[in-house]
Structures are given as C-alpha cells and as structure tokens.
Amino acid sequence: MPIQYRRKDHLRGTEAEKRIGEAIREGFEPLGNELVQSIKADSPSDRGRFKKGVKKRISGKGLKTRLLVYNNLDYAEYIEEGRKPGSKPPPPDVLLGWVRRKGLGAKAFSIKTRRAIAAGTTRSFNRAIGKRRTAAQSLLNIQKSIAFLIGRSIGKRGIKGLFLFKNLKSKQAGKISSAITGIKTRVANLLNR
C-alpha cells in the first residue's frame, strides 16, 4: 500500500509507527469481518466445517501491517482448488466420516434378501474370524464400500473447486478499494501533522 507523506525521519520504533499501525488495524478490522462473512455466505450449505474454519488475522507493525483471510481446515485447499482427474483420492477414513455425516448407508439393506438390517441382530457368517457378523459390522462394511466407491470416482473424475478465496478480490473489489482509500487517508493525516 504505497502512501505519500512529507516526513523526512524514519518511522521505525517511533510513536508515529505505533499510531499508524493502530489506524491500519482499525481500518482492516471491519474489512476483514466483511470478507470472512462474504466467503461464508458464498460457500455451499453442506460445507459446515469449511465455513467455521474461515478466519482473518491482522499482523505486522506500522506501514507493514497486513490483513490475511484464510481457512485453517486441513483439507481446505482441496475444497478451494478441487482435485484434478487422475489424482489420488481422499483418505478412506475421511471419506468414511463424510459418508456417516451425510447419512449414506445409514439404513443398510441386505444384498441377498433386500431387507433392512436391524440394529443388534446378527446377520451373515464371517468366515475370516469364524463368528457371525452383527448388524453394526454389516452397516460399517456397507459404509466402507460406499466410501471406497466415492473415493474411486473422485480419483477418476476429480472434484470441481469452489475458488472462493481466489475470486474474493475481484468480487469484493469495491469494498476493498474503499477501505484501503479510507486507511490511506487516515495514515496520511497522521503522517502529515
């Protein structure tokens, strides 16, 4: 943010630098809140954890104070940028959690009888461990199968990105430019006293 001022002295470590930093922070605070709310409003309704992860941070001193809008979710980059076709699918445990949250496979049906699997009853015989499988185990196997199929599809076709952060500057250009103009005016008034 280039600012014109008439002072000849250096600002580092002075009271003027502290006041400038405060003025910039006061200007960035409402701008950051508006940008965060804009991203949350534009994100799809099924991305609750993504919405909660959107945050702002104001850091730096004096004229080097900056505003950072980010998402602290570990897989936020995949939501933002998507995945290319042929890339590695998401981890199976993440997909299994997603399948459970979405309720996919919540009511499991037997493949042979096509009847709903009731909770607490025993079903088919598991030859690997020599015991009868419970309904919960059958339900887990069905959910794992669904998660695997979704992961395979994501690996083949990819996922389309949302590009909320990438398009933020162009979408909110009016608010950003008016806030920066206000900050520049405030800082110029402080420096030219």
pLDDT of residue 124: 58
Q: What is the largest CA-CA distance in the chain?
A: 86
The one-letter code for the residue type at 37 is Q
> Is residue 120 within 8 Å of 138, Cβ to Cβ?
no
What tens digit of pLDDT does each residue of 19-55 get? 888 999 999 999 999 999 999 999 988 788 899 999 9
DSSP 108: -
Question: Coil, helix or strand for 123?
Answer: strand
- Can you give the pTM of this predicted structure? 0.71
pLDDT of residue 120: 47
- Residue spans per domain, the chain: 15-80+161-191, 85-157
pLDDT cut 90: percent of the chain above it = 41
What tens digit of pLDDT does each residue of 99-139 get? 888 877 766 666 667 676 655 444 555 566 666 666 667 77
Instruction: Give the pLDDT band of residue 74 (cuts 50, 70, 90).
Output: confident
